[in-house]
Amino acid sequence: MAELAFYSGTMNCGKSTLALQTAYNYQQLGHRGMVFTRGDRAGSGKLSSRIGLEQDAYEVDASTDFWEVVSNERTLGGRVDVLICDEVQFYTERQVEQLARIVDEIGIDVYGFGITSDFRTKLFPGSARMIELADRVEVLQVKALCWCGKRATHNARTIDGVMVTEGEQVVVGDVNSGTVGYEVLCRYHHRQRMTAITAQATMGEDPLPNAWNAQS
C-alpha cells in the first residue's frame, strides 16, 4: 500500500539530507522518482543540504498542481514510482491535499520533509495539513543543538543577530547570511529571546563552553 509520510523537525535536523538519501535509495533500486522543493538555499530547481549534497528538483510555487504534474508525466509515458517533497512547510494546504490524493488514487508513495513550526512557534499551514493527513509522521532523530548545548526545539529569526517575533511568516534566509538569519534554540532561550550573539554580548565571552560546563 502506498503511503503519505511526513518527516519533520527544526532546522539543522537533517531533513534535506534525508530527502536526498531517500531519493538516492529509490534510484539505486531502479525506481523513477520525482523530486520537488520550494525556496531551497541553493536556488530555484535545486534540493540541497547543509553538508554539501545537492541535486536537481522541480521547483514548487503557489500555482503548482501536483495531481496535474504527475498525471501529465504519466500521460507522456513517464514512470513515477515515488514523490520526494522537500520544504513542505511552504506548500499550500491544497497542495498537500493533492499529494494525499496521489497516494490514495494512483498508489504512489509520497515522502514529505519540512520544518514543523515558524519563528513565532506557530505551525506552518503546509506542515499542519501534512500532520493532519499523513499516514505516518516521523520526528527526525538527529539532534539540532541550541547554543547552550541543549536540544534545539524552536526556530528563531534574527535581524543583525537580534531575535524577532513579528513579521511575515516566510522570509528566505539562512544561518548567518545577510541581515536576516535563522537560528535554532531550545524552548527556554527562545522564550528568553537569547540567541548566541545576544548571549555572548551579555556574558562578555563565548557562551558555549560555560553552557556545556553548567550541564556536566
The per-residue pLDDT for range 131-167, each reduced to its tens digit, is 999 999 998 867 788 899 888 888 888 887 788 887 7
Q: Is residue 9 very low, low, confident or very high in pLDDT (cuts 50, 70, 90)?
A: confident
Decide which of 139, 173, 190 is a domain's last residue. Answer: 139
| More confidently predicted of 182 and 110 | 110
What is the value of pTM for the model shown? Answer: 0.73
- 29 & 79 share domain: yes
- 112 & 24 share domain: yes
Q: Which residues are catalytic?
A: 87
- 54 & 129 share domain: yes
Q: What is the mean pLDDT of residues 196-205?
A: 76
Residue 11 belongs to a domain: yes
Total structural domains in the chain? 2
Decide which of 139, 173, 204 is a domain's last residue. Answer: 139
pLDDT at 216 over 50: no
- 102 & 9 share domain: yes
For 35-86, the pLDDT digits (tens) are 999 988 778 888 888 777 888 899 999 999 999 999 999 999 999 999 999 9
Weakest mean pLDDT among 37-41, 47-51, 104-108, 168-172: 168-172
Residue 197 belongs to a domain: yes
Share of the chain above pLDDT 70, in %: 88
- Residues spanned by the domain of 173: 154-215
Residue 129 belongs to a domain: yes
Q: What is the mean pLDDT of residues 179-204?
A: 84
- 131 & 183 share domain: no
Q: Is residue 172 very low, low, confident or very high in pLDDT (cuts 50, 70, 90)?
A: low
- 19 & 87 share domain: yes
- 82 & 51 share domain: yes
Q: How confident is the model at residue 81, as a pLDDT?
A: 95
Q: How confident is the model at residue 144, as a pLDDT?
A: 80
- 56 & 123 share domain: yes
Angle at 89 between CA 113 and CA 70, to 5 degrees: 65
pLDDT at 95 over 80: yes
| More confidently predicted of 31 and 11 | 31
Share of the chain above pLDDT 90, in %: 46
Dihedral (Cα; 67, 70, 76, 81), 10-degree rounding: -140
